[in-house]
Amino acid sequence: MSEPTVPHEPVLSVANLAIELPAGADRLYAVEHVSFDIHRGETLAIVGESGSGKSMSANAVMGLLPPGTRAAQGTAKLDGIDLLRLDAEAMRAIRGRRIGMIFQEPMTALDPLMRIGDQIAEVFEAHGLLAPAERRARALALLTEVGIPEPERAIHAYPFQLSGGQRQRVVIAMALALDPVLLIADEPTTALDVTTQAQILKLIRELQDKHGTAVMFITHDFGVVADIADRVVVMSKGRVVETGAAADVLGAPQDAYTRQLIAAIPTGRPAAGDGPRKAAGETVLEVRGLTKTYRSAGGFFRPARVVHAVRDVSFDLARGETLGVVGESGSGKSSLGRCLVRLIEPDAGSIRLNGQETMGQSVGEMRIWRRRMQMVFQDPYGSLNPRTRVGRIVAEGPIAAGMPIGAALKKAGDLLALVGLDASAVDRFPHEFSGGQRQRIGIARALALDPEIIIADEAVSALDVSIQAQVLRLLADLKTRLDLALIFITHDLRVAATICDKVAVMRKGEVVEMGPAAQVFGDPQHEYTRRLIAAIPGRAEGDAFGARAAAI
Amino acid sequence: MQTLQFLLSRLAKGILVVLAIVVLDFVLIHLAPGDPASVMAGESGATDEAFVQQLRVKFGLDQPFTTQLGLYIWGVVRLDLGFSHRQQMPVLDLVLDRLPATLLLTGAAFVFSLTVGVVMGAWAAAHKGRPLDRIITTVSLVFYATPLFWMALMAVLIFSVWLDWLPAFGLYDVGGNATLGERALDVARHLVLPAVTLGLFFTAVYVRMTRASMIEVARQDFVKTLRAKGLSERVILRRHVLRNAVLPVVTLAGVQAGQMVGGAVMTETVFAWPGIGRLMYEALIQRDYNLLLGVFVVSAAMVVVFNILTDLVYRMVDPRIEVSR
Amino acid sequence: MKAFWSRFRRHKAAVAGLVVVLLVVAIAIAAPYFYPVSPWKMVQRPFLPPFANPAVPLGTDTLGRNVASGLAYGARVSLLIGTVSTLVALAVGVPIGALAGYFGGVVDDVLMRFTEFFQTVPSFALAIVLVAIFQPSLFSIIIAIAIVGWPPVARLVRGEVMAQRQREYVEAAILAGQSHLTIITRQILPNVVSPIVVLASLMVASAILLESSLSFLGLGDPSIMSWGYMIGAARTVVRQAWWLSVFPGVAILISVLALNLVGEGLAEALDPRSSRDQA
């Protein structure tokens, strides 16, 4: 399929692109003055935080802009043809044939009611290629090529029978079925676990090398950029702020915003300037043999299923200490946190708070000691009640504990100031705040009952990297000032390595390895820990910036 | 194998529901006005207290409440739904005699409303926001808001009285010497008005459900993948969106079946259709509570059976259920 | 509130529906002032066609009763039964749904089996049986309509509460030490009000339809003039006196339609996501 192209003639050339938003939006254009080129066999990464317009630009090239928006200015030339001027039918002929695309959410990217093989064969059908029998054979070959185990069986499978990583492989197979000159990958690994992410990135790279496809890779993750990109476009608020070779942009960023972004990336090393760590204070929490098992009710005719959410977990936590709990999705790390505060009732084990056993206590007693162990949640939107004023949200705990409402609201105001919010925040509703501000409100709420232990469950995972850094600093600062013990649950090993003293690595409900952060990351003993660390994108021997950047 | 297991557990559940309905039924009979024995005595013309007492003993009405309940359930298990003293026939015989007409009517109305509803709903969704969509949704809203019995009356008035196109009452006209084809045609002609009026309300329901479901599915992620593959909008809509959108409509249609039995009471009453709905109306007018509750139990059992059938169909259509449940 | 009204106003059909509903309410309230004479009383010769006599603009029925007066008084019954039965159904359905959705597990199983039972039983047939057994009266009709009306409420509330229950603010409230009752009433239910309001407006419409059907079958309260009764009484003379069935039918149709339009408008004004679709 590959045709002779003049060297250095770009496969795709976007010039001065502007995308108009529907009337009544907060600004006229979603993106403006966007220009970039992609060459054959090259990977161009478009990096930016949420709302930067990176996905919009990709959708414009694909002719898949959401209703109400349109490409108002500029050109997007694919081998000399301006895609923005094509009619619907001509654009349809290009989609799938000349440009392939893969998406963020593999779980929902496939028609749930159609067999995998048929969905792949449909690509050929859409472009009137091959006879039905040949389509089937090609589908099988493609499944083999993208590394699906047992392709003969997978071809008959429905999407729900495949894992997220396997589904993403199927989407890649469909995108590359007709050997397109350009592949657009819109955050294709963001929804995947880190080890799966590494496999998918490797697959994309291999296929690209084999077919010489140009890849436009949209991501928010500089680690991934370091792994995969030849050149980088950095976007912010709908504009391109920096373009250049990956090594240059990552190693010596010119633009202030890019510099700020790169500085905000967790380094994976203990934060500098923290000084020598204090010797740990007295032990506040002793956990022994904590276990939670879920048994799905089998009923008359079905066999029961057993899932070990938390399995025989033991650890100690001292005042002033940060314990990181890391693991992939389904590892039980969130269940562990919820077992500690008894949002989930453990089946067995012992939880001693300041030497006092908390298991087997009455509901009333539990309400008292639970004040000493509070939680910061993951979802900046779901964790605050949209119908309650922020002051009241923070004050609920003290009020429930018997404090008069006036005093509780005053305390709430003080705490909001402590986490860096304006005093007027008390009377406002959560929707008036940004994601990072909402996490600050969540932290203020956790502090309202003067706890000794804070459990932060993926507390920064939903935030953009620059905001993430601020919230992490706030947490570390509060920990020192208030002499708290912190349990930090995260899937992001770089974050854990940056702020934790001790780390526990979990898999399938079990702690497979636990020790001082430097030791676990520097000299991992368990095979699973080693795999996790190896999969961190952009990583080369303890450094956040990757092999490629270094090699170029 | 799994389907068999599913069927068994579903049947067990259905039997429990029917049992609960029978208990409810029994409670209601006891709450019905008048002591059954005196009612019976009154009907046979005797008011003698000794005779009433005799009847009480005979029908077990002097037994404790739970014993009577047990006897009643045992009766239902043996398919004995009691005796209609007005019509001097066992309730079950009366109901079974009328059941085929109702099955014909509700079956026709169901097929009509589901077909027209899904087609119209899909059509409206495909033209979302455009005039065709407005027309379909407005018309269906009007049918949704129209009382069934009134629609039936108006249908009689317009199509039968004024235009004289279709017969308004009964199941058939032709005599015994007609051929089978003539009979079928005759019944079909009688079926049109009742089935369509009964079906229109449900058509409106299915139009709205299908349209909403289509719009919901069209917003899902996988539709974007389909566009990225280069599929045409027509193929996306017909092969993917419609298929995904119809599944929930089918489930809900199964749940709606119970409503259709209720609708049949109105329709059969207006069109003098000799089904169990009409029988219910007659029992109501004659204050024949045994018969009334008998019809109620049978219609509820019918709905349970129908729900099991829809679940089975759903299982066969949706591949996800086979393994995950 | 202001934002809500401006969103609602954009939906012209809903505004028209609201106007009609208010008009029907006004007629219901004003009925005794316009027609001080009982609607059951004979005022003219029977079978007087409509538009023949300005005093009885919509004609008279088989017994010479004023059809217009019957319509005005019928509005009272329809609205009364529609609203009260809906309130009763909400009073049953909301707590059941909220408890099932909040606690899940066994509580949910038990409550939902109970709800499913009432959903499986053919609802109109059940309403007929209940009213017949307890004798037709305003009270028995309202209770019967509420009994067949609450299961959808319970299911809706359960689903919504379950979705809210997953949200982390509920976990935060538990950690803050709030009781389950406080969490359900003060934290969760305020977030579930919108869909309940929408459903309630549609339920009033269904209740009016159901009441008219019962009255049509002769199961109305014998001392109250209602639209369904008027049509039922005129059924046998539909060939001679079309107006006796047409006018009350149109009254039902318009009221129910208007309530449905209001419900759709509410749904769109309360859920911004759906209002965008209509644009």
| Residue A549 reports pLDDT greater than 70 | no
Identify whether residues B176 and B250 lie together within a single domain: yes
Number of domains in chain C: 1
In a domain, C148, yes or no: yes
Give C-chain residues touching B144 at CB under 8 angstroms: 260
CB contact under 8 A, A95 and B319: no
Is A111's CB within 8 Å of B227's CB? Answer: no
- What's the pLDDT at A140? 94
Q: How far is C129 from chain B (nearest CA, A)?
A: 7
Q: Answer whether C177 sits within 8 Å of A400, measured CB to CB.
A: yes
Mean pLDDT of chain A: 88
Chain A neighbors (3+ CB pairs < 8 Å): B, C
B18 and B133 inside one domain: no
**Across the strands, what pairs with A502?**
A323, A516
Q: Of the residues B32, B63, B92, which one is the last residue of a structural domain? A: B92
Q: What are the CA-CA distances from residue A361 to residues A366, A381, A499, B76, C16 (Å)?
A: 6, 33, 33, 52, 60
Q: Based on the fold, state whether residues B131 and B261 are members of the same structural domain.
A: yes
Q: Name residue, tokens 């990135």.
A: A201
To the nearest 10 degrees (0 to 180), the angle between helices C193-216 and C242-270 is 170
β pairing state of A214-219 and A231-236: unpaired
Q: Do B37 and B67 fall within a single domain? A: yes
C50, part of any domain: no
Tens digits of per-residue pLDDT, A89-146? 999 999 999 999 999 889 899 999 999 999 999 999 999 988 889 999 999 999 999 9
Over pLDDT 70: what percentage of chain B? 91
Asked if pLDDT for residue B100 goes beyond 60, the answer is: yes
Asked if residue C49 is part of any domain, the answer here is no
Q: So what's the pLDDT on residue A268?
A: 66
C-alpha to C-alpha distance for C269 and A188, rounded to whole angstroms: 36
Give yes or no for a contact between A63 and A264, defined as CB atoms under 8 angstroms apart: no
Q: Which residues of A touch C (CB under 8 A)?
A: 338, 341, 343, 367, 370-371, 374-375, 377-379, 382-388, 393, 396-397, 400-401, 442, 445, 448-449
Q: Which residue, chain included where needed, has tokens 């024995």?
A: B37
Name the residue among A114, A104, A117 with its Cα closest to residue A170: A117
Does C86 touch chain A if contact means CB atoms closer than 8 Å? Answer: no
- Phi and psi at C187, nearest 5°, equal -95, -50
Q: Are C253 and C267 in contact (CB under 8 A)?
A: no
pLDDT for the residue C94: 96
Cα dihedral across residues C155, C158, C161, C165: positive or negative: negative
Report yes or no: A473 and A263 within 8 Å, Cβ to Cβ.
no
| Residues of chain C scoring pLDDT < 50 | 274-279
Which residues in chain A are contacts of B227 at CB distance < 8 A? 64, 95
**In terms of CA atoms, which chain C residue is nearest residue B162?**
C239
Q: How far apart are the CA of A7 and the nearest CA of chain C, in angstroms?
A: 47
Q: Give me the pLDDT at residue A116, please.
A: 94
pLDDT of residue A156: 92
Q: Average pLDDT of chain B?
A: 85
Torsion of CA A55, A57, A62, A65, to 10 degrees: 80
Q: Residue C5 and residue B155: Cα distance in Å, rounded? A: 40
> What is the spatial distance between Cα A358 and Cα A370, in angstroms, rounded to a whole number?
9
Q: Do B142 and B6 belong together in one domain?
A: no
Secondary element (H or E) of residue B34: none
Burial (0-12, 13-18, 19+ Cβ within 10 Å), A203: middle
The boundaries of the domain holding residue B26 are: 2-92
Within this chain, do residues B245 and B107 fall inside the same structural domain, yes or no?
Answer: yes
The chains in contact with chain B, meaning 3 or more Cβ pairs closer than 8 Å, are A, C
Structure tokens at A440: 């600050």
Task: Please determine, for residue A308, whether its predicted confidence score (pLDDT) is greater than 70.
Answer: yes
Domain boundary among B92, B110, B144: B92
pLDDT tens-place string over residues C198-233 = 899 999 999 999 999 999 998 988 888 899 999 988
Among the residues of A155-311, which ranges form H helices?
A: 164-175, 194-211, 222-228, 246-251, 256-264
CA distance C67 to C74: 10
Q: Considering only residues 225 to 254 of chain C, which have any Cβ-Cβ distance to chain A shorter than 8 Å? A: none
Is the residue at C57 inside a domain?
no
User: What range does the domain containing C231 cover?
Assistant: 2-40+63-278
**Cβ separation of A343 and C175 shorter than 8 Å?**
yes
Subunits with at least 3 CB pairs below 8 A relative to chain C? A, B
Report the residue from B5, B228, B247 with minimal CB separation from A96: B228
- Is the pLDDT at A273 greater than 80? The verdict is no
Please give the helix or strand (H or E) that residue C261 lies within, else none.
Answer: helix C242-270
How much is the average pLDDT of A9-13? 91
pLDDT in tens, A406-417: 999 999 999 999
B74 and B160 belong to one structural domain: no
The answer to whether position C33 is within a domain reads yes
CB B250 within 8 A of CB B47: no
Please name the residues in contact with B284: beta carbons below 8 A apart, sequence gap of 6 or more.
B292, C128, C132, C217, C218, C219
Q: How many CA atoms lie within 13 A of B205 on its CB side?
A: 23
Residues ≥6 apart with Cβ < 8 Å to A386 = A429, A430, A431, C191
In order of A7, B154, C238, C259, the CA distances from B163 in angstroms are 80, 12, 15, 33
Residue A5's pLDDT is 46
Q: What order of strands is seen across the sheet that includes strand A502-507? A: A373-376, A453-457, A485-490, A322-326, A502-507, A510-516
B265 vs C124: CB contact, 8 Å cut-off?
Answer: yes
C176 at interface of A, judged by CB pairs closer than 8 A: yes
- In the stretch 162-221 of chain B, residues with CB closer than 8 A to chain C read 215
Q: Is residue C242 part of a domain?
A: yes
Distance CA C82, CA A382 (A): 36
Average pLDDT over residues A397-411: 94
Least Cα distance to A222 among A547, A552, A545, A550 occurs for: A545
Residues B206 and B312 in one domain: yes
| End position of a domain, from candidates B35, B67, B92 | B92
Best CA proximity match to B209, nearest among B253, B175, B178:
B253
Query: Residues of B near A (CB-CB distance < 8 A)?
Result: 5-6, 8-9, 12, 220-222, 224-232, 235, 240, 243-244, 247, 318-320, 323-324
Task: In whole angstroms, give the CA distance from residue B197 to residue B220.
Answer: 36
Q: Which has the closest alpha carbon to A47: A271, A266, A260, A329?
A: A260
A298 contacts on B by Cβ (under 8 Å): none
CB contact under 8 A, B240 and A64: no
Q: Do B225 and A126 touch (CB under 8 A)?
A: no
Rg (CA), chain A: 26
Question: Residue A303 — pLDDT band, cuts 50, 70, 90?
Answer: low
* B66-100 as b/e: b if 16+ CB within 10 A: eebbeebeeebeeeebbbbbebeebbbebbeebbe
Quote the pLDDT of residue A539.
63
- Statement: residue A365 has pLDDT above 70: yes
CATH of the domain at C223: 1.10.3720.10
The kind and range of the H/E element at A2 are: none
Domains in chain B, number: 2
Q: Mutual orientation of helices B242-271 and B180-218 as an angle, nearest 10°?
A: 140
Instruction: Provide the ipTM.
Output: 0.85
Distance CA A337, CA A454 (A): 10
Q: B101 and B88 share a domain? A: no
Tokens of B39: 């009612």
Residues B67 and B186 in one domain: no
Q: How far is CA B152 from CA B10, B168, C71, in A?
A: 36, 10, 20
Backbone angles phi, psi at B9, to 5 degrees: -70, -35
CA distance C130 to B296: 11
What chain A residue is nearest to C174 in terms of C-alpha separation? Answer: A343
**Does residue B17 sit in the same domain as residue B100?**
no
Question: B91-126 vs B289-317: helix axis angle to the nearest 10?
Answer: 40
**What does the alpha-carbon distance between residue A394 and residue A389 come to, in Å, rounded to a whole number?**
9
- Per residue in B24-34, pLDDT (tens digit) is 888 887 777 66
pLDDT digit string (tens) for A185-200?
999 998 888 889 999 9
Residue A552 has a pLDDT of 31
Out of A341, A382, A400, whose CB is closest to C168? A382
Whether C172 has its CB under 8 Å from any CB of chain A: the answer is yes
Q: In A, which residues are within 8 Å of B5 by CB distance? A: 301-302
- Which whole number is the average pLDDT over B255-267? 82
Q: CA of B227: how far to CAs of A521, B123, B165, in Å? A: 44, 20, 49
Query: CA distances (Å), B120 to each of A294, B210, B220, B249, B250, in order?
Result: 46, 8, 22, 13, 15
CB pairs under 8 A between A and C: 55
Residues B66 and B199 in one domain: no
Letter for the amino acid at A552? I
